[in-house]
A and B are shown apart, each in its own frame.
Chain A
């Protein structure tokens, strides 16, 4: 499998009134095409910063971020970003929410993208709700709409910033399966940032463990669990030992930080 995303010696500093903060230090990792990578790390280590750098919302201080071998720029339409909450606009109906990206960027193939949006909504049982306002939808349905809003722009790479953290546990497990299925069937590459190790293991082919600030890659765990869905993957016999391994890497890191 070829590499889609590559971080090469990426550093990121940000300025506060008191000091210059070194957030990311010589960060190196790769994500393969059509794979699912998760990034875990201590709170405040810079996980979301990594996604913001990929999305072009922040500018790296040094190093290279390559997508398909080409440097990412701030207007890169190859990247789709899904946030912690669905952030559906309550004054727009589902169709207007889903086609927001088309409205903003006015692509040449807008009609094709609208047809694609329509097909995604039909495929994931949301088409009947296109004229409804987001408040009429359940938490899980809202997250599916948010994902479709991102997919409509046909991004090469999907960035998921703890997209399930605002959901209750049961809904979270179900939506995890839904989102995973959508990403796999649309043959997308995804980078997930999460605090939840179980979620990272059940969804990913690769888990990248970060150190505390300044974040460096502390450990990379390749995964090949049995199971079609994240929920079924949790039943893999190696799931527990993988959880322990990543937990130890993280807790060592936490202890180091606290000491």
Chain B
């Protein structure tokens, strides 16, 4: 019997009453209220920033202003340079994010599969996790060379240990009775992993994705600070070296927008998963 052929019982919910409509309206109003305040805060920050800069209360040479940031962005769009920098940083972040998430999960699977290996490697993982990865910067450049490979390596190093630890915890937190249930139904180790351990860890995996979004941007920008000739991190360093605060601020704002979009994409995946 194919599952698609099976039908669900129609919802037994009562038709909307006035009280229910009132409740829904209250929920809607609450949502609008929160969203309005979120937008208001942003408008206030931008407005205040522009006003203080325009009236020279704060020096635009050091803090720039929204209009200058906007003009800088437009000029970079017009000469086409911005797309190259955004593209490179985005590529480095996405590649680093993907390698770290998949690699960290695969290592976690390996360590779940082999308890002895986990016990052997545990102290090394703990040390790697507590190590400030920026300290490895010079070694990374020596080993993998400068440029994109070094940046991606930095990004991977920052995310991979955390991914491994989080996913391993998620795998190990599976209810022992559920594993016994699978064993009582004669499931082999692969089936236990594939049909129980892995799907059971999906929520944790989404949390890891959310954390990795932030961490991969940190890793990429850190890597670009160390060694790069293009990218938003490079623009920030270059802008600060030539005292072009408008360039620094424009790149930073773009970073905020890109990180938020990536986080939003993960939230959409989460929403789709929880349906």
Considering only CB atoms and an 8 Å cut-off, how many residues of chain A contact the other chain? 32
Inter-chain CB contacts under 8 Å: number: 64
Q: Is the CB of A104 within 8 A of B177?
A: no
**Which one of A83, A105, A129 lies within 8 Å of B177 (CB-CB)?**
A83
How far is it, in angstroms, between the C-alpha of A79 and the C-alpha of B185 when the chains are bound? 9
Enumerate chain A interface residues (CB-CB to B < 8 A): 52, 55, 57, 75, 77, 79-81, 83-85, 87, 89, 91-93, 95-96, 100-101, 103-105, 114-115, 118, 128-132, 153
Q: Is the CB of B7 within 8 A of A131?
A: yes
CB<8 Å pairs between A and B, sample of 9: A52-B180, A77-B186, A81-B185, A84-B177, A89-B200, A91-B199, A93-B3, A104-B182, A131-B8
Closest Cβ–Cβ distance, residue B270 to chain A (whole Å): 14
How far is it, in angstroms, between the C-alpha of A109 and the C-alpha of B187 when the chains are bound? 18
How far is it, in angstroms, between the C-alpha of A83 and the C-alpha of B181 when the chains are bound? 7
Q: Beyond A128-B9, A131-B3, is A101–B175 a contact (Cβ under 8 Å)?
A: no
* List of A residues within 8 angstroms of B20 by Cβ: none
Considering only CB atoms and an 8 Å cut-off, how many residues of chain B contact the other chain? 23
Enumerate chain B interface residues (CB-CB to A < 8 A): 1, 3, 6-9, 175, 177-178, 180-187, 191, 195-196, 199-200, 202
How far is it, in angstroms, between the C-alpha of A57 and the C-alpha of B184 when the chains are bound? 7
Closest Cβ–Cβ distance, residue B1 to chain A (whole Å): 5
Q: Is the CB of B9 within 8 A of A89?
A: no
Q: Beyond A101-B185, A104-B195, is A87–B9 a contact (Cβ under 8 Å)?
A: no
* List of B residues within 8 angstroms of A87 by Cβ: 175, 177-178, 181
Q: Is the CB of B202 within 8 A of A91?
A: yes
* List of B residues within 8 angstroms of A131 by Cβ: 3, 6-8
Q: Which of the listed residues A96, A104, A118 has the most CB atoms from chain B within 10 Å of its own CB?
A: A104
How far is it, in angstroms, between the C-alpha of A257 and the C-alpha of B98 when the chains are bound? 58
How far is it, in angstroms, between the C-alpha of A237 and the C-alpha of B248 when the chains are bound? 88
Closest Cβ–Cβ distance, residue B186 to chain A (whole Å): 5
